[in-house]
Amino acid sequence: MSTGAWLETHDPGERVFLSIGDLVLESGEVLPDVVIAYQSWGKINATQDNVILINHALTGFPDVPGWWPSMVGPGLPFDTDKYLVVCPNVIGGCQGSTGPSSLAPDGKRWGSRFPAINIRDMVAAEVAFTNAMGIKKYKLAVGPSLGGMRALEWAIQHPDRVGAICTIGSSAVATGDQIGTASIQIRAIKTDPHFNNGDYYEQEKGPEEGMGIARRIAHLTYRTEAEMDIRFGRQLQGDDTGRYAVESYLDHQAEKLWKRFDANTYIALTEAMNSHDVGRDRGGVAAALSTIKIPVIAVGIDTDRLFPVRLQAEIAELAPVAEPMVTITSPFGHDGFLVEVESVGEVIRQALKLSK
From 145, 170, 171, 355, the catalytic residue? 145
From 304, 330, 335, 355, the catalytic residue? 304
- Quickly count: other Cβ atoms within 10 Å of residue 48's Cβ: 12
C-alpha to C-alpha distance for 50 and 352, rounded to whole angstroms? 10
Catalytic residue check, 277: no
**C-beta of residue 209 within 8 angstroms of C-beta of residue 192:** yes
Q: Which of 44, 34, 57 is nearest to 115 (CA)?
A: 34
Catalytic residue check, 219: no
Q: CA angle, corner 176, sides to 229 and 251, nearest 5?
A: 35
Q: CA angle, corner 181, sides to 271 and 155, nearest 5?
A: 50
Catalytic residue check, 160: no
DSSP per residue over 64-108, as a string?
Answer: HHHHSTTSEETTSSEETTT-EEEEEPPTT-SSSSSSTTSBPTTSS
Strand stretches in 121-236, DSSP E: 140-144, 165-168
Residues recognised as catalytic: 145, 304, 334
